């Protein structure tokens, strides 16, 4: 509810294979076939960042916490902002369009928010850590790092 966007289908695969590496094994010497990420910052915003892609599902009410995801791909680095509902959209998009149900059993999206604590910086810090672990677990599943929803979410294009 409130996330209602069409999900990209599994058939929309890139022409070139992308490989996810955990940040602990990352090196900028890798070419652009490889990517990694980190979530290092968060910010409570009264409106959505202007750089959000319109095709991402998610809520639009504010204020809300946005989490800064740093993407490492080859020698380049980019940053993007996502809120919790974007992670929910990603998870649902993958569930709706993949046959990897068995692997996804071990991937757990952090719980939703509690109205009394959602504006708390401590809550946002805990959620930030949980969202980073969720995304790492998700990207460790076979076939998921190149799933069209992941590519949209992380704004990874075929170079």
21-74-11 Cα angle (round to 5): 65
- Of 39, 2, 63, 62, residue with least CA distance to 127: 39
pLDDT at 1: 44
SS (H, E, C) 61-96: CCCEEEEEEEEEECCEEEEEEEEHHHHHHHHHHHHH
pTM: 0.84
Give me the count of residues in the chain: 159
| pLDDT less than 70: residues of the chain | 1-16, 100, 112-119, 158-159
């Amino acid at each position: 509810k409130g996330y209602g966007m069409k999900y990209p289908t599994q058939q929309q695969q890139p022409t070139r294979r992308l490989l996810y590496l955990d940040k602990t094994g990352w090196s900028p010497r890798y070419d652009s076939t490889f990517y990694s990420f980190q979530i290092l910052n968060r910010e409570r915003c009264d409106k959505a960042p202007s750089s959000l892609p319109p095709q991402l599902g998610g809520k639009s009410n504010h204020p809300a916490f946005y989490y800064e995801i740093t993407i490492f791909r080859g020698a380049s680095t980019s940053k993007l902002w996502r809120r919790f509902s974007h992670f929910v959209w990603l998870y649902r998009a993958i569930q709706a369009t993949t046959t990897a149900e068995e692997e996804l059993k071990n991937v757990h999206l952090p719980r939703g928010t509690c109205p009394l604590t959602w504006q708390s910086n401590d809550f946002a810090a805990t959620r930030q850590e949980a969202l980073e672990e969720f995304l790492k677990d998700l990207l460790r599943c076979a076939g998921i790092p190149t799933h069209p929803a992941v590519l949209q979410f992380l704004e990874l294009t075929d170079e």
